[in-house]
Amino acid sequence: MLVTVPDLENLRGTALSEFDRRTATISRDGDETLLRESARLEGQLEAIYRIGVLAQRREPEMEAALAVWDALVKICDSFLARLEALKQDFPACAASYDKMLDLRLAAEKRRDLHRKPGP
């Protein structure tokens, strides 16, 4: 059984919903709690990324592999958007943000490698 792009998107939705639920009540002095939740979110993105890597390796068609990388870029963007808003008030989550940004850049690079050269 292959993992599909909708499966990856479903994992994203679940992870972000759980993050939102867990962080909804964190006060401004809850740096330690938010740091832990940011690290958890980072770990979830890393897991989704790894699953995506495995999924694209099994794709016989270049376009299907490209779709996986494109989805991973968008998934990374949605995770980054969650932390972007919090990073201003909770600078402690910047390290997780930076690691997620690294994953996004890696996914973007691989997506670009799978694109057909244009005219």
Q: Residue 66: how many CB atoms within 10 A of its CB?
A: 19
Residue 110 parent element (H or E) = helix 94-114
Mean pLDDT of the chain: 91
Mean pLDDT within 11-29: 89
Mean pLDDT within 95-101: 96
Q: Which band of pLDDT confidence, cut at 50, 70 and 90, is reported for residue 45?
A: very high
Residue 115 corresponds to which tokens in the numbers above?
């694109």
